[in-house]
Structure 1
Amino acid sequence: MSASSRSVLPSLVVYPATPRDLEPLAEVLTQVFHPPLGLQRWIYPIRKLGIREDLRLRLGSRDPYYCCLAASVGSRVVGTAEISLRAMAHGKYPYLSNLAVLPGWRRQGVARQLLLGAEGVVQVWGYRNLHLHVLEDNFPARQLYAQLRYIPIERTSRLWRWLGVPPQLLLCKWLS
């Protein structure tokens, strides 16, 4: 791993998002998960509207076990992650979802700082572990998670592949 991929931007700030952050967060999520490439650019505004409304509902839910983190450099939001409780086989556990960093800001420590911020949130909630899913073939993400001591505990069934869902790994990190 190169030194630049480990660097943390000196002006990077990770903070709990508020409704004021709704528009830039929706932009990050839409660009990362539904990039406006080819014909997709025509439905990009509709996808972004749907993402913004879903996020607006989550941000306004007042659920004590939900947190959306924003990562900004200066006044620009460049990444986000959400933490909530998710029902799993043996109860409810803290779960990280929608970790997204704008392409031009990747490999500069943004995702790492969002993960560390999420771990802090989970500890404040009184939990000692954090779960997340990663696509099995997303090797850059898997490398980051491994560096931060996330370990695979489950693999999605191959049955999902028949439905067009790529295989995923459930990772967990036990926090000190």
Structure 2
Amino acid sequence: MTPYISQIEEILRRTPGSRRWHIRPVGQVDIYSLSEIITDSFHSRVGPMGWFYPFLQIGITEDLRHRLKSELPHYICLVAEEVTGNNPIPSLNRHPPIGTVEMALKPSHFFQRAHKQHYYLSNLAVQSKYRRQGVAQKLLAGCEQIALHIGLKDLYLHVLEDNYQAQRLYHKSGYHLEKVDPDWSSYLLRRPKRLLLRKHLTS
């Protein structure tokens, strides 16, 4: 069962990591900022694809808005914000998000496992000027706190085989290769394969 927002905020206060960053649930006012962060993280502004960049951001914005309005069961979107001043917990006046991650329960067959549902993480993204400063690690740690609170001990995510920077982040955070997704397009079109990573949590 997905915790209520107030429960999530309380759970996230126990998140380890730098106190410079605060993790909280997403708000409707965050959607446009998050779409900018996600689009910039996964799509290029240069070259031929640069022409499609504004349309990609519009699509991502609408997808985010739909997921939040739908109030999907077992779906949680977290954002990271920078803590300013001496107060370790930001006030009700939220700061602009600088990073995000989404988590949702997936059925066991999604992971080709025999039983149970597991949390699957997606769209982990950090604003470019805040990368390599512990923001992504703090977001991942927040996901772990929520999963443990619910009683789930495994987290899954995908990463492309040629995204070495992301792979280093995940391996450093305790994720290990579960399997390589079979995909004929990776052979026929020479696209990078998707790697499914898993982390087993200990309370």
Structure 1 residues 43 and 137: CA distance shift in structure 2, 3 A = closer
Would you say how many aligned residue pairs link Structure 1 and Structure 2? 169
1:34 maps to which residue? 43
Q: Structure 2, unaligned stretches of length 5 or more?
A: 1-16, 84-94
TM-score, normalised via structure 2 length:
0.76
Deviations 1:34-62 (A, max 9, x none): 23224444332221111000001111222
- One of 138, 144, 152 as aligned partner of 2:169: 144
- Alignment partner of 2:98: what SS? strand
Deviations 1:86-120 (A, max 9, x none): 23123532100011112221110011011101111
- Alignment partner of 2:197: what SS? strand
Q: In the aligned structure 1, how far is the partner of 2:161 from the partner of 2:48?
A: 27
Structure 1 residues 136 and 41: CA distance shift in structure 2, 3 A = closer
Do the aligned residues in 2 keep the contact of 1:65 with 1:125 (CA within 8 Å)?
no
Deviations 1:112-167 (A, max 9, x none): 01110111122223211100011112222212211221111101226231245411
- One of 63, 79, 94 as aligned partner of 2:99: 79
Do the aligned residues in 1 keep the contact of 2:30 with 2:96 (CA within 8 Å)?
no
- Identical columns (%): 39
Q: Give RMSD over aligned pairs.
A: 1.9
Within 5 Å, which residues of 2 pair with 1:25-174? Answer: 25-73=34-82, 75-87=95-107, 88=110, 89-90=112-113, 91=115, 92-157=117-182, 159-161=184-186, 162-174=188-200
- Alignment partner of 2:152: what SS? coil
Q: Which runs of 4+ in 1 moved over 6 A?
A: none
TM-score, normalised via structure 1 length:
0.86
Q: Which stretch has the larger CA shift, 24-33 or 138-147?
A: 138-147
Q: Structure 1, unaligned stretches of length 5 or more?
A: 1-7
